Amino acid sequence: MYKNSIKIIEIPKIKDARGNLSVLEKGILPFAFKRVYYLYDVPSGTYRGGHAHKEQQEFLIAVSGSFNVLLEDITGNKTKITLNKPNQGLLISSMIWRELEDFSSGAICLVVASDVYKEEDYIRDFEEFKSF
């Protein structure tokens, strides 16, 4: 994997007997986010993702449950990361192919993105991605 192209970032956790609280605010991520979306009710055995972004960066958090993220850069370096902590997230830079799989029952993947939704920013064809 290219240096710094993916990174686990700890999200501050405020512990409390009434329950924990984690907060994402300015300074934690290396980009100012413009969009938040979440994946939920993902049936077991299915997967999400299967694309790269030309420009956008994303930060993925397992706010509930767990799932695996398979990552590959254009040189073919691969890695697999399990996300299962609400106070930890995975930063994915542009030009990284990602697939999300093995969602546990009730898992929720929260995604914080550097830009609004733009279909033209997606590379959805793996061969096209590898030819960049």
Task: Kindly list the catalytic residues.
Answer: 51
Strand locations in the chain (E)? 6-10, 13-14, 21-22, 35-39, 48-53, 58-64, 67-72, 78-83, 88-92, 97-101, 108-113, 122-123
**37 is an interface residue for ligand TYD by CB under 6 A:** yes
Q: Is 70 in the site for ligand TYD (CB under 6 A)?
A: no
Q: How far is the CB of 10 from ligand TYD (least distance, A)?
A: 24
48, 66, 95, 126: which one contacts ligand TYD (CB under 6 A)? 48
CB of 6 vs ligand TYD, minimal distance in Å: 16
- Residues between 81 and 120 that touch ligand TYD (CB under 6 A): 117
Identify the residue among 9, 11, 39, 70 touching ligand TYD (CB under 6 A).
39
Which 3 state secondary structure label does DSSP give 22?
strand
Q: Residues 6 or more apart from 25 whose CB is under 8 A from it?
A: none
- What is the number of other CB atoms lying within 10 angstroms of the CB of residue 105? 8
Answer yes or no whether residue 49 interacts with ligand TYD by CB under 6 A.
yes
Residue (of 50, 48, 76) closest to 62 by Cα position: 48
Contact positions vs ligand TYD (CB under 6 A): 35, 37, 39, 48-49, 51, 117
